[in-house]
Amino acid sequence: MTREDVVKYFLSKPYAIEYYPFDMVTAVFKVGGKMFALISDHEKDRLSINLKNTPEDNIELREMFKEIIPGYHMNKTHWNTVYLDGELEETLIKRLIDDSYNIVYKSLTKKVKKELEL
């Protein structure tokens, strides 16, 4: 997936917003004020995304795919860095994005969810 494809998919999630708190290369995606993804290409020619998942799934994913490592500059228990220049299928990448979004959305309070729907 290209950077544009990934950003478009992030922004297709309900109430997702994009912003640049660090620099103009690293985009952060939030829902209800909480981050569910980050995309960056700081490493030369290596596009990566950081995604949240359960600790158990993160361990399993890291063992199964060389493109998935503990989250760069993140809590390594809950976040993975996923390199997009490898052999990961688009369906898997989208599933991981969906998982990250859903985990974060489900953690929002009822009040925040209601505010989003206004």
CATH number at residue 92: 3.90.1150.30
pLDDT band of residue 45 (cuts 50, 70, 90) is confident
The verdict on pTM exceeding 0.75 is yes
Closest alpha carbon to 37 in 58, 77, 69, 10: 10
73's torsion region: left (phi>0), alpha (psi -120 to 50) or beta?
left
How many independent structural domains does the chain possess?
1
Quote the domain boundaries for residue 99. Answer: 3-116
pLDDT at 27 over 80: yes
Please write the tens of the pLDDT for every residue from 47-83.
Answer: 999 999 999 999 999 999 999 999 988 999 999 999 9
Element (H, E) at 15: none
User: For 34, phi and psi rounded to 5 degrees?
Assistant: -115, 140
What does the alpha-carbon distance between residue 8 and residue 69 come to, in Å, rounded to a whole number?
Answer: 23
pLDDT band of residue 106 (cuts 50, 70, 90) is very high
